[in-house]
Amino acid sequence: MSKLHILKNSENEAVVKVYTDNSSGEVIDISLENDLTTSKQVYVAGTSDIDELATGGFATYTGSHAIITGVWWGAKDGKRVDIERILSTGPDVLHNHFYFIGAGYHDYKSAGFADRIYANKDLRVTFAGGEGFCILRLTKAGWLPKVETATYSIYDDPTAVGS
């Protein structure tokens, strides 16, 4: 059974729910390319103009990226929900964003800000030590619309001989 559910996935926004019922915890990754790209979009691999970790500034992104605009979570007593960005794999290099205990929510969008650090990187939700859930609201940008090319039969193609 999937422990990642896409509750909403439009051109501009995605809402993702991840959870675990594993009493020893679990790690669940959210891929911008595989999980957040709709059937009407094309994922665009991109870059950022600065290294946000080194400079402490905000990058300008090219390509597909998702900004965290809301988080709702719940964890069993004494357990924790961590949200990280996956900077690279093999070995994993992660940028830690949030460590949540108990239950609660942060609606960053209504407060007038968002977490946009490493927005062009995939997300990882770690349930440290036990059961829990996490719902992420993400603002999406940088995907291209999928263009369907027209196909003709020999009877519809105006460039075919004998048309």
What pLDDT is recorded for position 81? 96
CATH classification at residue 118: 2.60.120
- Under the banding of pLDDT at 50, 70 and 90, the label for residue 58 is confident
Of the pLDDT bands very low, low, confident and very high (cuts 50, 70, 90), residue 20 is very high
Which residues lie closer than 8 Å to 114 by C-beta, 6 or more apart?
A: 67, 68, 69, 108, 139
**Would 162 be classed as within a structural domain?**
no
* 133 domain-assigned: yes
pLDDT digits (tens, 9 = 90+) for 85-116: 999 998 999 998 899 999 999 999 999 989 88
Domain-embedded: residue 68: yes
How wide is the angle at C-alpha 43 spanned by C-alphas 41 and 49, nearest 5°? 130
Q: What pLDDT is attached to residue 161? A: 67
The pLDDT mean for the chain works out to 91
Residue 107 maps to a domain = yes
The answer to whether residue 152 is domain-embedded is: no
Q: What digits encode the pLDDT tens for the residues 125-152?
A: 999 999 999 999 999 999 999 987 777 6
Please indicate, yes or no, if residue 153 is contained in any of the structural domains. Answer: no
pLDDT (mean) for 44-59: 86
| Average pLDDT value for residue range 64-77 | 96
Asked if residue 157 belongs to a domain, the reply is no
Domains held by the chain: number: 1
pLDDT grade, residue 79 (50/70/90)? Answer: very high
CA distance 70 to 40: 24
Average pLDDT for 45-61: 87
In one-letter notation, the amino acid at residue 125 is V
Q: Is the pLDDT of residue 1 over 60?
A: no
pLDDT at 154 over 70: no
Query: CA 134, CA 104: separation in Å to the nearest integer?
Result: 10
| Strand spans (E) along 45-90 | 65-75, 80-88
- The answer to the question of residue 62 being in a domain is yes
Range of the domain at 87: 4-145
Predicted confidence band of residue 55 (pLDDT cuts 50, 70, 90): confident
